[in-house]
Amino acid sequence: MTNTIEILLAEDEEHIAKLVAFKLSKEGFAVTIARNGQEAIDRLREKPWKLFILDVMMPYKDGWQVLREIQASPELKAIPILMLTAKTYQKDMANAAELGATQFLKKPFDPTELATTVRRMTGAPQ
Amino acid sequence: MDWVSDPELKAMLDEFVASLPVRREKLSKLRKELMASQGPRQREAADEICRVSHALAGTAETYGFPLLTRISGALDDYLSESDEARSEPCPAARIAEFTGFLVEALGLAERGSDPAGLVKDPRFQALMDAAPGEPTSGA
């Protein structure tokens, strides 16, 4: 039995995925990377993740399609979602909130800000 | 972030810098396709330039290349949000001009540092003027 907080990251840009995994693992989180939207949906169903970090622009299924699938799934819709997006237009933020996104972080982001946000969203000690 | 003395971070930074020539070559090829084609193929080239720019914009500043993010982000915004870039026929010459500027910025960044001097280049201001307004900051 472990107390490690497990996080699923859906991000196709490998340099961002590696950096997020590096930073959050240094903070004590266990990060699993999904490289596209479909893989993210498949991984989400594997276990009860504490947090789902979701990039908007991805191949196969983009972040919006993933959000809609999560909303339509009773077993997934309660998971907290942190959306990573290069564009935070008000209309997009409103759409994402309606689709169940809990929080936004604008790309490019400061890794320290990301870690702070993740700690807050997961209830990990600050 | 300690990019210099942390060996894991240094390796990630080196990998990012090593990705820049690949991105530059891809954009150069797409720029040529844009200028050589017409109709739907021209629009496909513009859309692919937009995708490459978008990915770069979301990554570069995090790795210490803020101006590269500004240039690629402005090109992404111009291509995806501006009426001019979305109009038909595709304004290929203008898109090619901005793409060429990003290609040049990537060439400078390949040396390992942000191409900060390009902020004084007239093409930088022209691109900023062409791109729609800055999105609101995320929270």
List the single residue in B9, B135, B139 with the smallest CB-CB distance to A89: B135
* CA atoms A91, B64, A113, A53: torsion sign: positive
Instruction: Please tell me if residue A108 touches chain B, with a CB cutoff of 8 Å.
Output: yes
DSSP one-letter code for A82:
E
Q: Are strands A6-10 and A30-34 parallel, antiparallel or unpaired?
A: parallel
* CA atoms B33, B36, B42, B46: torsion sign: positive
Nearest-Cα distance to chain A for B93, in Å, is 26
**Interface touch B12/A16, C-beta < 8 Å:** no
For A45-100, the pLDDT digits (tens) are: 999 999 999 998 888 889 999 999 999 999 999 999 999 987 766 777 788 888 88
List the single residue in A16, A22, A93 with the smallest CB-CB distance to B59: A16
What CA–CA distance (Å, rounded) separates B55 from B76? 9
Burial class (CB within 10 angstroms; exposed 0-12, middle 13-18, buried 19+) of B36: exposed
Torsion of CA B105, B111, B116, B122, to 10 degrees: -30
DSSP one-letter code for B116:
G
Tens of pLDDT along chain B (139 residues) come to 788 889 999 999 999 999 999 999 999 999 999 999 999 999 999 999 999 999 999 999 999 999 999 999 999 999 998 999 999 999 999 999 999 999 999 999 999 999 999 999 999 999 999 998 755 433 3
Residue of B nearest to A93 (CA): B138
Instruction: Please tell me if residue B136 touches chain A, with a CB cutoff of 8 Å.
Output: yes
**b vs e for A96-122, b when ≥16 Cβ sit within 10 Å of the residue's Cβ?**
beebbbebbbbbbbebeebbebbbebb
Query: For residue A87, which residues of chain B lie inside 8 Å, CB to CB?
Result: 77, 135
What CA–CA distance (Å, rounded) separates A43 from A84? 18
Residue A122, token pair as written in the block: 């997961």
